[in-house]
């Protein structure tokens, strides 16, 4: 494989090739503000950066440590024309490959399979296989299998008039929060989600119900507000979004019922001319 060289200039990640012509990219930096007593302070730091080409394809993503503000990991996205074919994640501390996702497509040009390779000890090995099944062009089922071909997670999708349902089942030990089954029922209008009902069933026998209400901008049909209610008698958590005039998201905020901030994120986009270099996929035969 080609050694990845990371240059962080104005918080932009790219690979460097001598004498290559520069490419124009768009870097989106996510800033997280510090919250004190429910108020936003002036203190902020970058927690994530996404880099897009001028066609809007995501080509790089960097994740920064929330406490140390160092690069935790970075991910490259490799395309064959317009189709995503590989997503490769490297450690920010030693540049070692951590995870690879290889995409395969069916005759309808939709994703049919994703092979997930992960670092196990000092080797990259097949960890999961994700299978998508369609009815014509409509996704109806997604299954995740481990390397022994045992299912780990499976989701069934159904669409009715003004209602979409996702039913996900998990094998015990696979779900990080010990959910056994999750059902998401979304009520639609003109292609927008008006409200969602989420029902979680846990392996412990406990259950949980969550209701989410969506409010939209009239001008560009973007989501302005999400109102989350956990249980029938609970007070809501509110997630708000802000957009620029051209419809790009510029802010995301989470507040409690007293309008105290819990989370405050700001997104800033800038164009840069950089040397991207040639994209090369990691060689899975390499040891």
Residue 234 has pLDDT above 80, yes or no: no
Better-predicted residue by pLDDT, 2 or 241: 241
Residue 270 has pLDDT above 90, yes or no: yes
Q: Which residues are bridge partners to 266 per DSSP?
A: 31, 251
Which band of pLDDT confidence, cut at 50, 70 and 90, is reported for residue 51? very high
Distance CA 71, CA 83 (A): 28
Spatial CB neighbours of 219, under 8 Å, sequence gap ≥ 6: none
31 DSSP assignment? E
Average pLDDT over residues 73-87: 95
Give yes or no for a contact between 211 and 185, defined as CB atoms under 8 angstroms apart: no
pLDDT for the residue 31: 96
> Shortest CA distance to 174 belongs to which of 157, 192, 152?
152
Determine the pLDDT at residue 176.
81
pLDDT score of 239? 96
Task: Please give the mean pLDDT across all residues of the chain.
Answer: 89
What is the DSSP track for 124-137?
EEEEEEEEEEEETT
- What length does the chain have? 287
10: pLDDT strictly greater than 80: no
Question: 29-67: buried (b, 16+ CB within 10 Å) or exposed (e) per residue?
Answer: bbebbebeeeeeeeeeeebbbbbbbeeeebbbbbbbeee
User: What CATH class does 7-274 carry?
Assistant: mainly beta
d(CA 144, CA 128): 7
Residue with more model confidence, 185 or 120 = 185
Distance CA 155, CA 161 (A): 20
Look at residue 223 and tell me whether its pLDDT is greater than 70. yes
Q: pLDDT value at position 278?
A: 75
Q: Which residues pair with residue 226 across a beta bridge?
A: 214, 239
Tokens at 25, concatenated: 């990219």
**Gyration radius from the chain CA atoms:** 21
Would you state the pLDDT for residue 76? 95
Mean pLDDT value of segment 38-61: 94
pLDDT higher at 72 or 257: 72
What's the confidence (pLDDT) of residue 214? 97
Q: Please, are residues 99 and 106 in contact by the beta-carbon 8 Å criterion?
A: no
Which tokens in the block code for residue 109? 């040009």
Which pLDDT score, from 0 to 100, does residue 4 have?
45
Q: Which residue has the higher pLDDT, 109 or 234?
A: 109
Give the list of residues 6+ apart from residue 107 with CB closer than 8 angstroms, or none.
none
- Point out which residues pair with 146 in neighbouring strands: 128
Give the Cα separation of 83 and 111 in Å (integer): 9
Tokens linked to 110? 């939709």
* Mean pLDDT along residues 116-135: 95
């Amino acid at each position: 494989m080609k050694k990845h060289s990371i240059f962080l200039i104005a918080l932009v990640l790219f690979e460097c090739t001598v004498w290559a012509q520069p490419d124009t990219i768009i870097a989106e930096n996510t800033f997280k503000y510090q919250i004190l007593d429910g108020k936003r302070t002036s203190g902020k730091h970058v927690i994530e950066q996404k880099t897009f080409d001028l066609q809007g394809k995501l080509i790089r993503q960097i994740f920064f440590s929330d406490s140390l503000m160092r690069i935790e990991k970075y991910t490259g996205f490799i395309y064959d024309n317009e189709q995503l074919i590989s997503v490769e994640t490297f450690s920010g501390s030693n540049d070692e490959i951590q995870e690879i996702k290889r995409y395969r497509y069916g005759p309808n040009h939709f994703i049919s399979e994703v092979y997930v390779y992960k670092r196990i000890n000092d080797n990259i090995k097949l960890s999961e296989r994700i299978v998508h099944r369609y009815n014509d062009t409509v996704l109806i089922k997604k299954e995740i299998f481990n390397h022994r071909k045992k299912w780990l997670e499976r989701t069934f999708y159904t669409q009715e008039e003004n209602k979409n349902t996702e039913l996900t089942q998990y094998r015990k030990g696979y779900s990080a929060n010990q959910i056994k089954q999750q059902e998401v029922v979304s009520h639609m209008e003109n292609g927008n989600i008006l409200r969602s009902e989420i029902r979680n069933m846990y392996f412990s026998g406990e259950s949980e119900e969550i209701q989410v209400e969506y409010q939209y901008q009239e001008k560009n049909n973007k989501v302005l507000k999400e109102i989350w209610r956990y249980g029938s008698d609970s007070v809501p958590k509110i997630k708000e979004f802000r957009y620029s005039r051209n419809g790009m998201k510029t802010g995301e905020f989470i507040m409690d019922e007293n309008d105290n901030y819990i989370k405050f994120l700001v997104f800033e986009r800038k164009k840069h001319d950089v040397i991207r270099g040639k994209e090369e996929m990691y060689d899975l035969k390499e040891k």
